[in-house]
Structures are given as structure tokens and as C-alpha cells.
Amino acid sequence: MAQQQEMKAAEETYTGFLSLLKVGSIITAIVTVLVVLLIS
């Protein structure tokens, strides 16, 4: 019973981490493009 709750919590944490990773990657790509355009 406790293992199911721990697994559910771990899955929620992992899902949140993946969402943050996706958003962070997109923001990083946008900032990189802006910096390259400013430099050139």
C-alpha cells in the first residue's frame, strides 16, 4: 500500500521535472537565438 503511494508521488515528481525540462529547453533556445542575432 505504501509502495503505491510512493510510486505515485515519484511519478508526479518525474512528470513535473520533465515539464520543467521542456520549458527550460525552449526558453534556452529562444535566448540563444536572440543573443546570436544581437551579436551578428
Q: What is the pTM of this model?
A: 0.72
pLDDT tens digits, residue range 2-36?
Answer: 788 899 999 999 999 999 999 999 999 999 999 99
- Residue linked to cell 508526479: 12
- Looking at per-residue confidence, does 33 or 1 come out higher? 33
Round the CA-based radius of gyration of the chain to a whole number and report it: 17
Residue listed under C-alpha cell 525540462: 21
* Helix residue ranges, H only, 1-40: 2-39
Query: Given a cut of 80, is residue 1 above it in pLDDT?
Result: no
